[in-house]
Every structure is written in C-alpha cells, then in structure tokens.
A and B are shown apart, each in its own frame.
Chain A
Amino acid sequence: MQLDINGRSYTVAAAPETALLWVLRNELNLTGTKYGCGEGECGACTVLLDGVARHACLTPAAEAKGKKITTIEGLAQGEKLHPLQQAFLQEGAWQCGYCTPGMILRAAALLRNTPHPSEEEIVAAMNGNICRCGTYPRIVAAIQRAAREA
C-alpha cells in the first residue's frame, strides 16, 4: 500500500485495517504522532487527512490511501516553523509536550477553516484534545497568537 505522508510517498507493508497511528509510529518511525487512549478520546494522535483533523488511532491505514497525510513532522517548511509551532514556543504552551503535536495539528485544521476564531470557537474545536499537564490557557493563547500573526 502506498501512503502520501508529508509530501513523500511511502510503501507500507501493514495490513490495510491497521490503524494509521501504528503504521506511522511502528513501521515508518514517525513517532511525533502520539498514542494516548486508542479510542478517539484524547487527540494525541491527531493528523490531517487532506487538511481535515482525524484520530489516527481510529483511522484504518487503507482510509488514508490517496489522501494527503500531514503529521507533525511535516508541518515546518525546512527550518521555518509553522506559525502555530512558533506561537506554541512563544507562549510556552506545553509542559511535558506529549499532547503538543496533536494540539498543533488540531489547531491547524481549525485555522484552515476559521482563520480568526473566537475564544469559544477555539475551546469548542479543541475540546477533544487532552493536556493532562493543564496547559490549556496557554494553548488557547498560542492559537490566538498564531491567528493574529498569520
């Protein structure tokens, strides 16, 4: 099976029903996409399929075939960080950082459709992503900053 990940084509051996999360992590060693629950409850595994945020833990690899898959590793353009990555750094919007890739990708999907979201829109869009360290206020501030500076 061929998968288009971060603009590169990968041939993968995994069975088509294998969750995209494990294909990325275990077969391709793209470990920026995280496991937190395996049931769509935490958002740590969020990736973009054709720009739409999806839970990689619940997405069979076959479903991603023919779509453009974006993981956290593909967000920066070379050395240049994505505005959201930059904003997370500036707001210090992490502690352990384990939730951060999923947060950034979920926010990227939000800003794609709603470039200038209200605080309520941010909270609604992000509510499926858990930060156990409790950096939520900083994540909201980072998304607002990225929206402002984009």
Chain B
Amino acid sequence: MPDEGLRPRVEAERYEMSSKTQRFELGRRDFFQWLAAGIVVAGVMPHVPTDAWAQRREGEPLPDNIGAWLHIGEDGAITVYTGKVEVGQGVRTSLAQQVAEELRVDLSQITMIMGDTRLTPFDMGTFGSMTTPVMGQRLRRVAAGAHDLLLKVAAERWGVPQSRLRAEAGQILDPGSRRKISYGELARGQRLAQAVAMDDPLRPATEWTIAGTSAAKTGGRAIVTGEHRYPYDWTRPGMLWGKVARPPAYGAQLLSADLEAARRLPGVTVVRDADLLGVAAPTAEAAAEALAALKPRWSPAPSQTSSSALYEFLLNHPAADASNTQGDEELNAALAAASHRLDSVYQVAYIQHVPLEPRAAVAEWQGNELTVWTGTQRPFGVRDQLMEAFHLRADQAHVLMPDMGGAYGGKHTGEAALEAARLARAAGKPVKVIWSREEEFTWAYFRPAGVIKVRAGIDNRGKLTAWQFDNYNSGEAGIETPYQVAHKQIRFHRTEMPLRQGSYRCLAATANHFARESAMDELAHAAALDPLEFRLRNLRDERLATVFRTGARAFGWPRRKQRPGQGFGFGGGVEKGGRIATFAEIRIEGGNVKLEHVVSAFECGAIVNPDNLKNQIEGAAIMGIGGALFEAIEFADGKIESNRLSRYRVPRFRDVPRIEVVLVDRKDLNPSGAGEAPIMGLAPAVANAIFDATGRRLRHMPLAPNGLEA
C-alpha cells in the first residue's frame, strides 16, 4: 500500500472497536444557546445488554453518558438527535416510529437529525445491526422520559396529581376535568432540560400502535423526484473540484510529477504532500485536465500475491500474533470414535460492497474550523480521522452525513473526506472529491477472503460428537456453532492480509455459516439422515429451531425432485440476535445455476416495521446471491482486475428468484437488528441445493462464477 499513514489497513471486526469515545456532557452544555425554547430530554444510561451486543468478545463498552436526546418545540415539533445514520436500511423511519410510540404522537411530528457530529451525541457508527437493539431502545427510553416529563409539567400547571393524566395524540388529557393541552403549548416559554435515567418502563410490544406497523418510509417523495441530495450531489458556493493521482498498483511509489505544468492551468491548485498528489480546479473537466498534466511517474510495484494463489497464501502466512493450530487430544479421540467423519476445506473469495454511490465528500475550512459532508457509516470516526490529520480539537471538526446511496459495511472510513479536506486547505476554498467506480473498487476495502477447515464426527444416533472449526482470515463473527457437541475446538487464525480488508454486511458470519451449514449437510448425507431432522436433533437454540421449522413448512421441505437439474437445500443460523433459515430451489440448465425460489424465515424479537423488515430480508437474500454464485475480486501484481461493473458481476433483475419472506414476530422479546443476518443463509442453501441436484459438493464461494464447469 502506498500510503500507510492515512490508510490504515482496516481489519474486520477489531477495527470497529478501536474508536475513541467522546463525551457529550449535558452539564456543560447549554442546549438553549442554539435551540429554540422548549423541552429537552436527554437519555443518560449504561448500555443495554442485548444478545447482539453480548456477542462481541472484545472492545469498549458504549459510552455511558448521553446516548440520544430530543427536543419538543413550542409548535409541538419533535426533533430527535442520534449519531446513527440512514444508509438505506430504513432506520430514519423505524427509529422515529419507536419515539412516536412512546410519546404518543403522530409519526409526521418527528424529525430525525442523524449522524451530525456537532448536534448528535457520540456514536461509534452504524454497523453490527445495533441501531435497532441499542439505539432503538435508547430512543424509546428518552421518549418515555419525555412522556413522563410532559405529564409532570401538565400536572404542576393544573395542580392535579400526575397519575390522573394521560398522553394521547400529542396532548396531555385530564379525563376527570376533560381538560387537554398540546405538547407544544406545554413547551411554550419553557427552557427545560432534563436528563432521564434510562430505566423508565417501556411500552410492551403487545401494546404498540405505531411501532410494529408498516409505516411508509419517510422522505420517499424526495427519493422518487430526485430531489434528495446524496453526498455525491452536495455542493458549496465557490466550490472547486478535486482529483487525486492514484498509483497504478499497490505499493508503487511516486517518483516524479510535473507540478508546474498543472499549476500553469487557470485556477488550479496542486498539492503534493506526503502521500497525496492531487489537484483542485474550478470545474471537474479542468481538474481532470490538471491531473493529466501532472504526468506522474511511479516506481514498479513490489511483488505481491494474486487471487490465483490466494488460499495457499492465507494458509501459509500466519500473522505475527497467530494462534496455534494443534488439535487437542480429546477432540482427536472423539473424532476417531465417531461413526461418520467429515474433513472438509471451504474457501471464500474477496468481494466488494459496491454501493451504487461511490465515496464522495465536500470539505470547507473557515479559519481553523473544518466542515465536511460525506457518506460514511461512522461520522464520528471520520471526525476523529480529520482531527488527527489536521491536529484539530473536536469542536473544530464537524462531519455531516446526508443519507447516502448504500454502504453494506463498506463505508466505515473517511478517505474522500480526508482528500477533500487536504485539497481545500491548500486551495483556500471548499473542495469536492467524488470517487469513480474504478477508484472505489481499488482504493476502498474488501470483505476478507478466507479458508475454513472443518473436521467433525457424529455417532450412530446422529448426534454430533466432535467439531473442529479453523477459520483463516475471514473473521470471528458467527464462528460459534449453535449445535450441541461434546468436544469442540473453534478458532480464528489471523493471517497476513493480501488486500486491504474491512467490514461487510454480516462480517464473517456469511463465510462461517457457509462452511458450517455446508458441513452439516455433508454430515447428514453421510449418516443418511434428512438434513432438517439432523439439525433439529443437535440444536439447542429453540428460537432457531422454530425458524427452521417455519421455513421448512413454507417451503414444503422435504421436497421430491420433479425435473432433472432440480435441487433443494437450506441453511441457517443465529447472528446479531436474529435467527434466519433460508431454503432454496435451484435448477441447473446448460451448466448454469438458476435460483428458482427462495424462502427466508426470520425472527428478530418484536418487529418494529414489518414491511421495512421484509424489504431488508429480500435485499439481503438478493445481495447474498452475488457472493454465493459469482462475485469475486480478481487481482494480480498489486492491481485489482475486477475494477469495474463490466468486470465484476453483481446480481441483476434476471438473477432474482421468487422470494418469500416469513416473519416470526416475538413481541415478548426486545427487537434486535435485521439488516445483516438474513444474508448468511443463502450461500449454504444454494451449495446444498447444488449437491442435491448434481451430487457435487462445492466448497468455494462463489460457487459457480462461470457456471458449473465440468
């Protein structure tokens, strides 16, 4: 990599936990200096333990002071401030629904301010399916606190006991005297700020009337009319266009460039500073011209591995802190005693997120204060990067995140923001940097490739007796098995990383479920057991068992093949608190794998917005088709060869099967996140269906990038 300084190699999972926490202190901040009169309620709380959170093994707790806050204005408008961001997953709506529920107001009264580092409390970022379980819970508590405060204010005003009053449709009612007063009126002339302890009782999901419904997503009109401004669309008065010179291959060093030639062009600023060679110019065309005028010369790239040698590389290049790979004796004994044994190796390629909107940022300096509008899942993380790069205090760097065009774990970092800020500083004007698709493919980061070795054994009653699972480089998410087994050894081995790698929707859980659920299928066949029956026999997670049974019923498992080339398979698991079972019907036709029908059964506690949830599950299944069947990053000699959409295939209309989503609503359980887990059942379901259709066991993701080669 050419510029280690500003581009730390991103590592899966550990990376998420490395952000510094910033405090947003109620006591020292006068909300009303910059807010109109009204009522402010801020939630102060320890983090809410949910299984989504508990699954993380290491890292910091969430900051324990203010998690979120809201303002009730004199006109009754409710503004909610959260550091989470909207990336298409629908949380702008589903969070507002939860606030509306606790506050007993109409959804249209609520405005969400999201991911603005000056206005919203610190947040680590929008990833890991934590928005619903953690932020949703917090906002519900803040709103419940506001609800109580409004009751109290009204009770004082009327001189009646608070217990006599209730809230309804944005008003406090006194049923005894038939008096009522709107929230706006209560807020009038107030400058009331209250911190609430976050243990107010919450409305049980069984009583929800706004949360729990398929409220239409807010902001839809701006989307269908093209009015919504994405980061790529952002402009500032007097703005210049920035472009950055990229090396032809990873590790190539800049030898020389004709800075003067570019500087002679009208209005052009040229920056050559440490690892950055870039230009800013009055128009995008002028910037392109200036960039070309630089005629940079680069050193040859150091020799490095390629995608064709990837898996050997991962197995042979342990990281310095790699764990051992010895099997333990009890496990070996259990394996030796098993009636049926499995010894399989699975591989998972590097893939990319390919958000349809590539990275973009506009940066503007005013003296020593920097404002950046950019597309990121971690506005506070990007702010930290900017603070570090320019030696700024937190109050000197301000990051705003206009709702962006997709992320899927791919936009945790602030590359374009840093580039724009560096160019803007030199030019003395605001600068916009937009990445091309080629830049996004090469200079963003990838979902880690990996090798997973599984050795397992079962006894003659179809019970798992031994389970050894070694994951090289993919990551730890979803590595634990939900199946009961007496002797197990489950390990993640760090290796050297051939490419810059980072987060991805569901992280390594897709790879680990592909391996595990394929292995379970292999074991079931070895023992001549129905794969569903085999799983249920070994499962101890009743919620997952329910989801398996629910999916099986909707799909009609077990199904008999009616045509040659037909095949059925399924896979599932638990991740981020969600339980997924995906069933697939495929057809092999002329060597191609065609998905015909997919059933996804899913349970994530109480459902906040069923239609949005269905949208996420469908979308996850469709995104999963790419990783399962054909997506793979090809690279050699420090160059990404699949660096365009014409060279990297993503799922299209034709690839989409009939998709059925079956939701299991558990109103007795707290909601957990749902944007990620539904992706991970698809790949094993398809692999198992291919085995069913052909008798061939494919253990490499993507399964059939060029169809099923003979």
A contact set with B: CB distance below 8 Å = 14-15, 18, 22, 25-26, 29-39, 41-42, 44, 71-73, 75-76, 81, 85, 88-89, 92, 94-101, 104, 122-123, 126-140
Contact indicator per residue, chain B 635-654, by CB within 8 Å of chain A (1) or not (0):
00000000011100011111
| Contacts A127-B652, A133-B88 given; does A96 touch B356 at CB 8 Å | yes
A15 x B285 contact (CB < 8 A) = yes
Measured in the bound complex, the distance between the Cα atoms of B525 and A22 in whole Å is 57
Using a CB-CB cutoff of 8 Å, which residues 613-634 of chain B contact chain A?
A: 615-616, 618-623
Measured in the bound complex, the distance between the Cα atoms of B354 and A15 in whole Å is 31
B226 x A73 contact (CB < 8 A) = yes
B contact set with A: CB distance below 8 Å = 87-90, 216-217, 220-221, 223-230, 232-233, 235, 241, 283-285, 354-358, 403-406, 408, 434, 436-437, 611-612, 615-616, 618-623, 644-646, 650-654, 656, 659
A-B pairs, top 8 by smallest CB distance, nearest first, are A32-B226, A96-B88, A98-B405, A134-B622, A72-B226, A134-B619, A97-B223, A95-B88
Smallest beta-carbon distance B618→chain A, Å: 6
A92 x B217 contact (CB < 8 A) = yes
Decide if the interface of chain B is mainly helix, strand, loop or mixed: loop
Measured in the bound complex, the distance between the Cα atoms of B190 and A119 in whole Å is 58
Smallest beta-carbon distance A120→chain B, Å: 10
Measured in the bound complex, the distance between the Cα atoms of B437 and A131 in whole Å is 15
Smallest beta-carbon distance A5→chain B, Å: 13
B285 x A89 contact (CB < 8 A) = no
| Contacts A85-B225, A132-B356 given; does A96 touch B646 at CB 8 Å | no
B88 x A85 contact (CB < 8 A) = no
- The contact of B618 among A35, A75, A81, A134, by CB within 8 Å, is A134
* Beyond A42-B645, A73-B227, A97-B228, 9 additional pairs, beta carbon < 8 A: A26-B284, A37-B644, A81-B224, A85-B224, A95-B89, A95-B406, A134-B619, A134-B623, A134-B656
B224 x A14 contact (CB < 8 A) = no
B228, B619, B620, B654 interface centre (most CB from chain A within 10 Å) = B619
- The contact of A34 among B216, B405, B615, by CB within 8 Å, is B405
B356 x A98 contact (CB < 8 A) = yes
Kindly list chain A residues whose C-beta atoms are within 8 Å of the C-beta of B227.
Answer: 32, 73
For chains A and B in complex, what number of residue pairs have CB atoms within 8 angstroms? 164
User: Which B residue's beta carbon lies closest to that of A87?
Assistant: B224
Measured in the bound complex, the distance between the Cα atoms of B434 and A85 in whole Å is 28
Decide if the interface of chain A is mainly helix, strand, loop or mixed: loop
User: Which B residue's beta carbon lies closest to that of A35?
Assistant: B232
Kindly list chain A residues whose C-beta atoms are within 8 Å of the C-beta of B233.
Answer: 25, 31
Smallest beta-carbon distance A17→chain B, Å: 10
Measured in the bound complex, the distance between the Cα atoms of B654 and A13 in whole Å is 40
User: Which B residue's beta carbon lies closest to that of A105?
Assistant: B226
B618 x A42 contact (CB < 8 A) = no
A71 x B217 contact (CB < 8 A) = no
Kindly list chain B residues whose C-beta atoms are within 8 Å of the C-beta of A75.
Answer: 225
B656 x A136 contact (CB < 8 A) = yes
- The contact of B216 among A22, A41, A92, by CB within 8 Å, is A92
Smallest beta-carbon distance B232→chain A, Å: 7
User: Which A residue's beta carbon lies closest to that of B90?
Assistant: A95
B233, B403, B616, B623 interface centre (most CB from chain A within 10 Å) = B233
| Contacts A37-B437, A133-B406, A135-B615 given; does A96 touch B225 at CB 8 Å | no
Kindly list chain B residues whose C-beta atoms are within 8 Å of the C-beta of A72.
Answer: 224-226
Smallest beta-carbon distance A47→chain B, Å: 11
Smallest beta-carbon distance B621→chain A, Å: 7
Measured in the bound complex, the distance between the Cα atoms of B24 and A143 in whole Å is 47
B356 x A99 contact (CB < 8 A) = yes
A89 x B224 contact (CB < 8 A) = yes
A38 x B356 contact (CB < 8 A) = no
Kindly list chain A residues whose C-beta atoms are within 8 Å of the C-beta of B87.
Answer: 96
B225, B358, B623, B654 interface centre (most CB from chain A within 10 Å) = B225
Measured in the bound complex, the distance between the Cα atoms of B223 and A95 in whole Å is 10
User: Which B residue's beta carbon lies closest to that of A132?
Assistant: B356
